[in-house]
Chains A and B, each alone.
Chain A
Amino acid sequence: MVETRKIICTSCPMGCELTVTFDEEKVIEVKGNACPLGTDYAKQEIFDPKRMVASTVRVRNGYHPLVPVYTEKPVPKPIIMDVLAEIRKVEVEAPVSINDVIVENVLDTGINIIASRNLPKA
């Protein structure tokens, strides 16, 4: 069955409104994109939407009580809340360095959760 859906491309801040025509297997047509990124975005968004996820984890003896973390790569949209639950279980000891792996291979996605800043000891 051929379907048409309107989605907004989030590849860049322009936010093109795409009109995507697709069936069960493939995207047939993408309209409204200002650049080729829109076509790739549409394919991904229709069949396997993914998002970057950012949150914080608790830190013992740190300059701040939290260190910000994020997924190295976008994770499948349906498991975002599960990824957050995994992040919430973690507590780390200061110091933390930027890009330190905080959770390895979260939920077997092959994606690491990494720190987005240096956090020295208190």
Chain B
Amino acid sequence: MHALRSPFARLAALAGLALALTAGSARAQLAIGDALPMKDVKMTGVDGKSVTIAGVSGKKGTLVVFTCNHCPWAKMWQTRVTEIGNTAGKAGIGMVAINANDPAEYPEDGMDGMKQRAKELGIKFPYVVDATSDVARAFGASRTPEAFLFDAGGKLVYHGTVDDSPKDASAVKDAYLKDAVSAVSTGKTVTTAETKAMGCSIKFRAKTTS
């Protein structure tokens, strides 16, 4: 067959079936209005305590941010994310930062690194490990950092990035996440509900369940 005459073509043909099953679509993400998933899954925080998303939820809402230690984009936003999380609690929004990365990919993303980073940043909210990456899968999270904000009823009202200026906090024009948290805490509608920014792909652990 003409198409299979070269070794590379044969290799491509063999890989074709697997590709056909996986390519052509992005990871399914939660949509605005969707319910908070996997809120009772126990995850271990940097303080050694077991945490669930339901357990950190505030009276007015819940903020879940997928992040990690190694990613340059997560690092650029980490101070701003910490500030948002540390103040959100006082406004009735509980926050949890979740690291779903496989530390085998980046040792910096292991628990020791997380503890160190939490201490350096002065994080006052739980910074936990998604030990199977299944929580990230359930959210449809794909990158770090990526934020999901839920209202008091557990419905997604904001999904996306932190703001429009990762590298320079002084140049921020649209503080998407901060504004969304403020809106939810004061009972207002989030004006910009979905945003995107570049980030590091989450290094998912191998799936253990079908």
Chains A and B are bound partners: no
